[in-house]
Amino acid sequence: MNYSFHQVTSCNMCDASDTAFKVMGQRLNCSQGLNPKGKTGIAVSVIKCNSCNLIFSSPRPEPRSISDHYDMEPSEYWKEEYFTIDESYFLHEINKAKELLNFQNGMKALDIGGGIGKAHVALTNHGFDTTSIEPSASFRELAISKHKIPENKFILSSIEDADLNENNYDFITFGAVLEHLNNPSESIAKAMSWLKPGGLIQIEVPSSKHLIAKLYNWYFKLRGTNYVTNLSPMHEPYHLYEFGMESFQKHATQNNYKIAHFEYMVCSIYNIPSLLHPVLRQIMAATDTGMQLSIWLRKN
């Protein structure tokens, strides 16, 4: 895979200069496992912005085309269990959106990064008039064929290339999408232009406060390495960013929105003995150090 590498001189979310940056360590272009010193590959520096706690790589690797990362069969990207939609899928987010929006049936929703159509189906089943955009042709094809979604409601496009009507949507969701984008700040601003005044954007992203990531980083340090587990800019799932609450608080002041609601989610715990999971879950729930940050942004 061909990459170009771009030195980062200012924070994407808060515009802080590189004098606010701290080097956390190095990240390989492959899964590092428990012994990264035994791996070979290309490494980039992982940086934390001390102004807003955004985590990113510098230089930032950028593929020749977004299709280099996502133009694959859905079965290669997701595990088999992902393809089943149960009644509770995305329901918590939908209920929170309805509560914050004073929902009326037929409100317009936009799913950015529609994937194989799971959120699209859930939103439609719960009364939204839903449109999705998805940059992967194979993901879109499966969504349309599997869920009988009209083609004009599932648009083949990245957010960067999409051209949608301004002030048109009541609710927009970036479910597990923003961390994959080269320019999340610009993407939020573009989505805001498509949102009606008073409308909501829901974003779910990896949290830069994640306790398990910190434990892994301590483990690597104790082994005498400068590797970190944060991000995966050159291998699946191609995460380019981890976000702090401060990332959105500072971004909001210049981009015409305010934070309507947020919550941290513990999520799954990997590669740690299951005996420790209950206490780790309790700690993460009590200290807001779970894996994911889910945040609702209201357009002014």
pLDDT in tens, 170-228: 999 998 899 999 999 999 999 999 999 999 999 999 999 999 999 999 999 999 999 99
**Residues 118-145: what's their mean pLDDT?**
94
pTM of the model: 0.93
103 three-state secondary structure: coil
Selected from 3.20.20.150, 3.40.630.10, 3.40.50.150, 3.30.960.10, the CATH number assigned to the domain covering 3-299 reads 3.40.50.150
In this predicted structure, the answer to whether residue 83 has a pLDDT above a threshold of 80 is no
**Is residue 80 over pLDDT 70?**
no
pLDDT in tens, 8-41: 999 999 999 999 999 999 999 999 988 888 899 9
pLDDT, average across residues 77-102? 83
Instruction: Report residue 79's pLDDT band, with 50, 70 and 90 as the boundaries.
Output: low
Return the DSSP state at 113: S
Distance CA 198, CA 175 (A): 20
C-alpha–C-alpha distance, residues 156 and 265, integer Å: 30
What pLDDT is attached to residue 2?
A: 84
Domain residue ranges of the chain, discontinuous segments joined by +: 3-299
Q: pLDDT tens across 47-74, in order?
A: 999 999 999 999 999 987 766 676 666 6
Residue 289 has pLDDT above 70, yes or no: yes
Tell me what the pLDDT averaged over the chain comes to: 93
Residue 86: pLDDT band with limits 50, 70, 90 = confident
Residue 180's alpha-carbon distances to 56, 117, 197, 231, in angstroms, are 11, 18, 27, 10
DSSP 8-state code for residue 146: H
- Does the pLDDT of residue 238 top 60, yes or no? yes
pLDDT score of 266 = 97
Q: Residue 78: pLDDT above 60?
A: no
State yes or no: pLDDT of 42 exceeds 60. yes
